[in-house]
Structure 1
Amino acid sequence: MDIDIGIKKTDRAKIAEGLSHLLADTYTLYLKTHNFHWNVTGPMFNTLHVMFMTQYTELSLAVDLIAERIRSLGHYAPGSYSDFAKLSSIKDAEGTPKAVEMIKQLVAGQEAVVRTARSIFPAAEKAGDEATADLLTQRIQLHEKTAWMLRSLLED
């Protein structure tokens, strides 16, 4: 059955493509954050272990919201490691970095997700896709706040 939600098919395809990149970034950041949760050591262990758990839990919920928005637009959501590797702007961590390096990588990852979310806004606004715009606004706000919180751990 054809989709008739007031957004043209071509616009839905462009938005879904952008959201696929956002999904890949979010899932890659989820995986990296979970990895760091498991492997963090040092004097900030407890603080970071708990903080990373909060962050990866939120990210795990976010991937579902993003994927379901893609499906609502009539497209299939990417869902494999190979898809995510092609679509994500976030690279895997190599080895097990020290805690401060973990924080720096997670700040960079949070900011990458913000940039990806922002890049989708023009297509969503042009199409009058308020649902996607709302999702993007929420993602941007959360990731900017998380990046700030992580950055604050790096200050003297």
Structure 2
Amino acid sequence: METTTAAIGIKKDNRKAVVEMLKQLLADEYVMYTKYRNAHWNVEGIDFHSKHVFFEEEYGKLENTIDEVAERIRMLGFYSPGSMQQFIELSELKENGPDTNDSASFMKVLLEDHETVIKFIRENIGDNAEAHNDEGTADFITGIMQMHEQMAWMLRSSLKTFK
């Protein structure tokens, strides 16, 4: 749903297409944020303290990103989704968790989510800039992709010790 006409040099149809992509990204970010919270609250094992702190730091990054994506949707003249039902319907991520509460199990699930989001963003960067004339959103999501690449690298590197 459009809020106002945003006179920013991007046609309404293009803004709408970009917003549809951003809505899925927002939902994916929120689902992943919730999964990090779950890991933070429920992780167990010899590395409990370090991973409890790690998961908290990581969900903090996602919390900021969630706000930025929602505000980007508003900047483009549309309303942001904001309910759990909307997020579940829009997200490509599963609401799954690991079978056990050890850090490696949580990290494997979260790594898969980061990789899914990275691929989704990479597939949409070009369309935002070229097809929809929105270089601003292309640049914006490139930064988000880089954050997810770093978060995935941290998980991947941590999981190597568990092999």
Decide whether the 8 Å contact of 1:33 with 1:55 is kept in 2.
Answer: yes
What residue is the counterpart of 2:106 in the other structure?
102
Show CA shifts across 1:49-103 (max 9, x none).
1111111011011001001111111111111111111111111134654321101
| 14-23 vs 42-51, which moves further | 42-51
Match for residue 134 of structure 2?
129
Work out the CA distance in 1 between the residues paired with 2:100 and 2:70.
29
**1:53 pairs with 2:56:** yes
Shift in Å at residue 26 of structure 1?
A: 0.3
Is 2:44–2:101's contact at 8 Å kept on the other side of the alignment? no
- TM (norm. structure 2) is 0.90
Map of 1:23 onto structure 2: 26
Pair 1:11-2:20 in alignment: no
Q: In 1, are the aligned partners of 2:22 and 2:73 still within 8 Å (CA)?
A: yes
What is aligned with 2:95? 92
Identity %: 42
2:70 to 42, 67, 72: 67
Count of equivalent residues: 156
Query: Which residue does 2:119 correspond to in 1?
Result: 115
State which of 56, 78, 83 in structure 2 corresponds to 1:80. 83
- Structure 1 unaligned blocks of 5 or more: none
**Equivalent in 5, 9, 21 of residue 2 of structure 1:** 5
In the alignment, structure 1 residue 32 sits paired with structure 2 residue 35: yes
Q: Distance in 2 between matches of 1:96 and 1:19?
A: 32
| Contact 1:36–1:52 (8 Å) recurs in 2 | yes
Q: CA RMSD in A?
A: 1.4
Once superposed, which parts of structure 1, at least 4 consecutive aligned residues long, lie more than 6 Å away? none
